[in-house]
A and B are shown apart, each in its own frame.
Chain A
Amino acid sequence: MLEARNLKLWYGDFRALNGVSMSITPNAITAIIGPSGCGKSTLLRCFNRMNDLVEGSRTEGEVLFEGKNINDRRFDMTELRKRVGMVFQRPNPFPLTVFDNVAYGPRIHGLASGDALREIVKKALQSTLLWDELGEKLEAPALSLSAEQQQRLCISRLVAVAPDVLLMDEPCSALDPMATQNIEELMLELKKRFTIVIVTHNMQQAARVSDFTGFMLLGDLVEFGETQRVFTAPRQKKTEEYITGRYG
């Protein structure tokens, strides 16, 4: 599905990734954990080339998506962003109605209109468990929703264009514990249809929801493996120190 091979990334003179290799398993949740500044969000953004938007960034190595290197200039970026979507730390709905937020992607990609579009919106909202809450309020402004609803709306917006991969960068850090639990439950549902990569500061969250975990430190992927194994029997001393709170 997705694979990083000897991936290196610089922001100007600063090297943020030191040759990371990892393989993302389809229909599973892969968590990337590590202390602030370790490169985990940078790695996540490599999977849909969001780092291209950072001035002075430079990448070496490959990121293979279905066997093709997305760092190749010939790779269709519109197709990449459609198939590999991203959820951010803070919910970022457009200042539009609920309906127009979810319909935005299908419209610009020319996927559907009329009844077909309404059906896509309905299914997208159902998949994030928002339909029961908002099915009668599709014309409500998205910015009037709660933070959790806004985050689920942003996920619906991605789901509407039928991506393969959802990248989530600290998707619960702006949410309260109950909303966090709801988003985690949603992730477990969504992984049946999508491949999910999540970056999180919250180790318990990584342990609860992910199937695979990678631990990053100072731009290196120190350890990568099944979540159960990483959290019960890490192989690397640095991983052990970090997850038991002895790091630093």
Chain B
Amino acid sequence: MKRHFDEELSQVKERLLRMGANAEKMIHLSAKDLLARTESDRAELERLEKDVNAIEMEIDDRVVKLIALRQPMATDLRFLMMASRIAGELERIADQSINIIETTHWYLSGPPLKPIMDLPLMAEIVQEMLRDCLDAFVRQDVGAAKRVLESDDKVDTCKKRIFDEMIATMESDPQTVRRGVCIVLISRNLERIGDHATNIAEEVIYMVEARDVRHHHGEATGPGERKDGKEFGENPGD
């Protein structure tokens, strides 16, 4: 039986997907500017960011209203709680994209540094992570969400290599400090985007399976579960 409540939940999902599409577009534009040494239309970026911020507030408002009025339980409750969190992650991803664009603008005012192989790789991985975690959300696909978690290590490795490389470059040639700092900041922004995509993947897993995998991937426990796998109040012999 289709419930009116299902329609209201669908509207939250639809808003979240629009927010995700905007965030994806913002990362794409920021990565393009950085790698192709172009400058995106600032008005377009500002419009996207404004839209993301407005949808985040709209989603939170809808979630509060639906929790108060509908008193959702089980899968409905988990969906709404995670929708609010995912909206927060997407808003921060959009902020990080703006940071990248602003730092890139500063970076492009000087001649290019020697090619940094890990930077395009890192940008590509985080874009893929965001795409995959949003797909996992739409398809309720825990397997896809887990693959996003695995990608986070690759992002961290890239960032560390970029840090090491930039430190060596700046030490050997003080003229590169300004641009080197820009690259360090940008890699930090990309890493944070990867972290937010990872959070979304964890939130999708909780939404689908009610397993909290934060901080201890793979050792998930559900609410009310004991370490011995039995439930509180469960018969010892069961």
Contacts and interface: CB of A to CB of B under 8 A. Distances in A.
A229 B226 CA distance: 12
Given A225-B224, A228-B223, A240-B75, A246 B1 contact: yes
Q: Binding site of A, secondary structure by majority: helix, strand, loop or mixed?
A: mixed
Interface string A8-39: 00000000000001110100101000000000
Contacts of A245: 3, 5
Contacts of B223: 226, 228-229, 232-233
A219 B194 CA distance: 50
A169 interface: no
Contact of A229 (B5, B76, B78, B222): B222
Nearest to B232: A226
B75 A244 contact: yes
Contacts of A233: 74, 78, 210, 222-223
Among B73, B78, B223, B231, find the residue whose CB has the most chain A CB atoms closer than 10 A.
B73
Contact of B74 (A23, A30, A225, A234): A234
A218 to B, nearest CB: 18
A130 interface: no
A240 B79 CA distance: 13
Interface in B222-238: 222-225, 231-235, 238
Nearest to A4: B235
Given A204-B71, A233-B74, A25 B233 contact: yes
A21 B238 CA distance: 10
Contacts of A211: 233
Q: Binding site of B, secondary structure by majority: helix, strand, loop or mixed?
A: loop
A244 B224 contact: no
Interface in B147-193: none
Contacts of A148: none
A174 B181 CA distance: 71
Contact of B235 (A3, A28, A228): A3
A204 B234 CA distance: 22
Nearest to A3: B235
Contacts of B78: 232-233
A200 to B, nearest CB: 15
B120 interface: no
Given A231-B74, A232-B210, A233-B210, A225 B235 contact: no
A243 B233 contact: no
Contacts of B213: none
A25 B234 CA distance: 9
Contact of A232 (B5, B73, B234, B238): B73
B4 to A, nearest CB: 10
A225 B5 contact: no
Contacts of A229: 222-225, 231
A71 to B, nearest CB: 18
Nearest to B223: A229
Contacts of B225: 229
A239 B210 CA distance: 15
B77 interface: yes
A243 B231 contact: no
A226 B5 contact: no
B233 A226 contact: yes
7 contacts: A3-B235, A225-B233, A231-B73, A233-B222, A240-B75, A243-B74, A246-B1
| For the complex of A and B, 3 pairs with smallest distance between CB atoms | A233-B210, A229-B224, A226-B224
